[in-house]
Amino acid sequence: MKAFVDIHDVTHVYSGAEDGAPAVEGMTIRVHEGEFAAIVGPSGCGKSTVMKLATGLQFPTRGSVVVDGREVSAPVKLAGMAFQNPVMLPWRTTLQNLLLPLEIVQPHRSRLRKHKAEYVARAESLLAQVGLKGQGSKYPWQLSGGMQQRASLCRALIHEPKLLMLDEPFGALDAFTREELWCIIRDLHAQNKFTVVLVTHDLREAVFLADRVFCMSARPGRIIAEREIDLPRPRDLEITYTPQFIDIVHELRGHIADARAAA
């Protein structure tokens, strides 16, 4: 099967790195179209670097990055991104924050003024799907952290991307809110079938959401294990208490412990 995201034998050294050491080295990751992949590993292993490479925010020192059949040489317009910090503009309403990518990404930028009602309806539909129906007129400071993160997910999806990149999007939330958002992103992925790459420290999160989990070594990061998550879908939160789920989490934890010990 042809990979939708194909990171092949990539080494990357950040410009200006004092020690000149690579963030990732000899890394290969292949994610199929429509797949939900997760990347886990010890702190500082280069997980976020992978996200930057896949979206064209950084370009590899060596190796190749191909997304949807094209080598990445500029920011990837077909990608949506959400981060641990929602980064909502405080002077714009929630709805206006959602529409922001449409003011930047073509062809939506050229269509926005003439078809604004269509885009507003799309934004309101997304808000309703994540439990924020009727909240579009509120400013970010009027929303809780969990509500802001839900809005951030909507903003990442407003231009109907084929690829969704999630960089620790739920890490700053309390456990109950985090699990609620797991279920929301699970349902959005099941409904829309976009490709997802999730970077996370939370092994339970990775196992609950992903089709495959990639484990990275300590810096310089490389893939040391790849685990297919063969738990049936749709998954509900009760599965996280089953022996099969816990065994997979412990297996992944063992890989991370080995990576840290080898650092």
* 58-81 pLDDT, tens digit each: 999 999 999 999 999 998 888 999
Render the burial of 219-253: b for 16+ CB within 10 Å, e for the rest. Answer: bbbbbbbebebebeeebeeeebeeeebeebbeebe
Confidence band for 172, pLDDT divided at 50, 70 and 90: confident
Q: How many CB atoms lie within 10 A of CB 106?
A: 10
- pLDDT at residue 219 in the model: 86
Q: List the chain domain ranges.
A: 1-78+163-170+195-243+258-263, 86-161
Mean pLDDT of 120-144: 93
Q: Identify any residues that bridge with 32 across adjacent strands, giving them in sequence order.
A: 3
Confidence band for 259, pLDDT divided at 50, 70 and 90: confident
- pLDDT at residue 263 in the model: 64
Mean pLDDT of 182-187: 93
Mean pLDDT of the chain: 91
| Range 1-78+163-170+195-243+258-263: architecture per CATH | 3-Layer(aba) Sandwich (3.40)
Q: Which residues contact 116 (CB under 8 A, 6 or more apart)?
A: none
* 33-50 pLDDT, tens digit each: 999 999 998 888 888 899
- Model pTM score: 0.91
